[in-house]
């Protein structure tokens, strides 16, 4: 991979990273910059965005949450909580995931979805780290935080990936339709981490549509996507396959408004994994909250280390990370 000299996006030492490692870091930072960029236009319409910004393409904070520039929201924060619990346990343990989410909620996060709040409250009340199946509640809240599962299971077979996905998702979201969408995103992430390009990722998206036709994304351009996972992924897929660049993919989704921080987050992790670290705009990385950026980078590398150790048959003590 060529590091473009006009975009020294990589931090010190990143030039020594292997391809899998740099894609993992790019996916995690892509999630965070997409979240921070999209939070500004969350719940706006494309017309409102156009009047206010022309084209929104800078991390400036604000939005309905009145964020500091570079501040991320629940999408990134929940991924970090999930990632930490996976590193502590060596795998996706629902009780540990629910405990991590509960601790996060105790810290009074800047934003939290209703379904997430309900799931965490259910765990606190009952000690049960999964909610009942409910296909009327197919929100995007489990998919938005799924990246650590892809990193942990990037060397494993699909069955393990899918089972781990459900263990983390069902802590708050338990819907066959949302499961299917989230699992497609995980398959796309794993493919991209291993160098898969548009055609490989599109194949996964098309297999999702064949199985769950509500996800069909070729018809009309979706604007103002709601928190429904189908709306969210239609926007992400349309933008991902319409562009050949990281920046343009994210600019496309966040200018459609609606649940823009979450379309930004999911598009960011996929585009980050696919295009790699060198093309994430320097100005976005510079704007990102420095502590968040450091945690994203560190977790990405530790999760890949865990994935490759486990795949190599080495035993890693729980808590060793
Ligand atoms: Mn959010
Ligand atoms: Mn959101």
Is 241 exposed, middle or buried, given 0-12, 13-18 or 19+ CB atoms closer than 10 A? middle
Q: Which of 187, 195, 109 is nearest to 143 (CA)?
A: 187
* Alpha carbon distance 57, 246 (integer Å): 12
Instruction: Determine the distance separating the centroid of ligand 1 and the alpha carbon of 8, expressed in angstroms.
Output: 28
* Alpha carbon distance 32, 266 (integer Å): 10
pLDDT-above-90 percentage for the chain: 89
pLDDT at 220: 87
Confidence of residue 4 (pLDDT cuts 50, 70, 90): very low
Instruction: Determine the distance separating the centroid of ligand 2 and the alpha carbon of 202, expressed in angstroms.
Output: 24
Domains, the chain, with CATH or none: 14-310 (1.10.4080.10)
Instruction: Determine the distance separating the centroid of ligand 2 and the alpha carbon of 265, expressed in angstroms.
Output: 9
Least distant ligand from the CA of 42: 2
Q: CA-CA distances (angstroms) from residue 74 to 31, 116, 173, 287?
A: 11, 10, 15, 18
Instruction: Determine the distance separating the centroid of ligand 1 and the alpha carbon of 261, expressed in angstroms.
Output: 5
Instruction: Determine the distance separating the centroid of ligand 1 and the alpha carbon of 141, expressed in angstroms.
Output: 9
Q: How many residues does the chain have?
A: 321
CB of 150 closer than 8 Å to CB of 161: yes
**Does residue 282 surpass a pLDDT of 90?**
yes
* 31-35, 108-112, 309-313: least confident range: 309-313
**What residue spans of the chain are helical by DSSP H?**
19-38, 46-53, 74-89, 94-106, 114-126, 147-152, 158-169, 176-193, 198-211, 229-242, 246-254, 260-275, 282-287, 290-311
Instruction: Determine the distance separating the centroid of ligand 1 and the alpha carbon of 115, expressed in angstroms.
Output: 13
pLDDT at 321: 32
Confidence of residue 60 (pLDDT cuts 50, 70, 90): very high
Provide the terminal-to-terminal Cα distance of the chain, rounded to the nearest Å.
29
Question: What are 80-115's pLDDT values in tens digits?
Answer: 999 999 999 999 999 999 999 999 999 999 999 999
Question: What are 254-276's pLDDT values in tens digits?
Answer: 999 999 999 999 999 999 999 99
Instruction: Determine the distance separating the centroid of ligand 1 and the alpha carbon of 147, expressed in angstroms.
Output: 15
**Does residue 65 surpass a pLDDT of 90?**
yes
* Average pLDDT over every residue of 33-49: 98
pLDDT-above-70 percentage for the chain: 93
Confidence of residue 312 (pLDDT cuts 50, 70, 90): low
Instruction: Determine the distance separating the centroid of ligand 2 and the alpha carbon of 67, expressed in angstroms.
Output: 14
pLDDT at 310: 81
Confidence of residue 13 (pLDDT cuts 50, 70, 90): low
Instruction: Determine the distance separating the centroid of ligand 1 and the alpha carbon of 109, expressed in angstroms.
Output: 10
**Does residue 44 surpass a pLDDT of 70?**
yes
Q: Which of 38, 15, 36, 37 is nearest to 25 (CA)?
A: 15
Instruction: Determine the distance separating the centroid of ligand 2 and the alpha carbon of 141, expressed in angstroms.
Output: 8
* Average pLDDT over every residue of 114-143: 95
Instruction: Determine the distance separating the centroid of ligand 2 and the alpha carbon of 315, expressed in angstroms.
Output: 37
Question: What are 230-243's pLDDT values in tens digits?
Answer: 999 999 999 999 99
Burial code of 11-23, b = ≥16 C-beta within 10 A, e = fewer? eeebeebeebbbb
Instruction: Determine the distance separating the centroid of ligand 1 and the alpha carbon of 226, expressed in angstroms.
Output: 12
**Does residue 229 surpass a pLDDT of 80?**
yes
Which DSSP string do the residues of 187-210 spell out, in sequence order?
Answer: HHHHHHHTT--HHHHHHHHHHHHH
pLDDT at 183: 98
CB of 118 closer than 8 Å to CB of 188: no
Instruction: Determine the distance separating the centroid of ligand 2 and the alpha carbon of 259, expressed in angstroms.
Output: 5
**Does residue 145 surpass a pLDDT of 70?**
yes
**Does residue 10 surpass a pLDDT of 60?**
no
Instruction: Determine the distance separating the centroid of ligand 2 and the alpha carbon of 261, expressed in angstroms.
Output: 5
Least distant ligand from the CA of 110: 1
The rounded mean pLDDT for the chain is 93
pLDDT at 313: 52
* Alpha carbon distance 117, 125 (integer Å): 12
Instruction: Determine the distance separating the centroid of ligand 1 and the alpha carbon of 133, expressed in angstroms.
Output: 23
* Alpha carbon distance 133, 138 (integer Å): 10
């Amino acid at each position: 991979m060529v590091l473009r000299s006009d975009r020294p996006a990589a931090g010190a030492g990143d030039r020594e990273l292997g391809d899998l490692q740099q894609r993992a870091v790019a996916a995690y930072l892509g999630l965070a910059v997409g979240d921070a960029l999209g939070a500004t236009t969350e719940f706006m319409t494309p017309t409102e965005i156009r009047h206010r910004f022309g084209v929104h393409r800078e991390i400036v904070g604000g939005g309905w949450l009145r964020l500091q520039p570079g501040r991320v929201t629940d999408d990134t924060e929940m991924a970090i909580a999930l990632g930490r619990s996976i590193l502590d346990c060596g795998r996706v343990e629902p009780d540990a995931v629910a405990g991590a989410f509960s601790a996060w909620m105790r810290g009074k996060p800047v934003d939290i979805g209703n379904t997430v709040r309900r799931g965490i409250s259910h765990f606190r009340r009952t000690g049960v780290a999964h909610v009942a199946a409910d296909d009327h509640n197919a929100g995007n809240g489990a998919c938005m935080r799924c990246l650590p599962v892809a990193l942990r299971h990037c060397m494993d077979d699909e069955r393990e990936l899918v089972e781990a996905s459900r263990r983390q998702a069902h802590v708050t979201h338990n819907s066959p339709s949302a499961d299917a969408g989230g699992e497609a995103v995980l398959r796309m992430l794993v493919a991209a981490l291993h160098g898969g390009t548009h055609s490989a990722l599109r194949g996964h998206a098309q297999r999702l549509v064949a199985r769950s036709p509500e996800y069909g994304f070729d018809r009309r351009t979706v604007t103002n996507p709601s928190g429904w996972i189908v709306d969210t992924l239609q926007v992400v897929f349309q933008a991902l396959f319409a562009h050949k660049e990281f920046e343009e993919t994210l600019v496309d989704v966040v200018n459609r408004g609606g649940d823009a921080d979450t379309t930004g987050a999911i598009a960011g992790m996929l585009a980050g994994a696919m295009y790699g670290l060198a093309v994430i705009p320097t100005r976005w990385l510079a704007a990102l909250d420095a502590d968040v950026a450091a945690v994203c980078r560190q977790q990405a590398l530790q999760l890949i280390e865990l994935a490759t150790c486990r795949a190599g048959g080495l035993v890693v003590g729980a808590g060793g990370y």
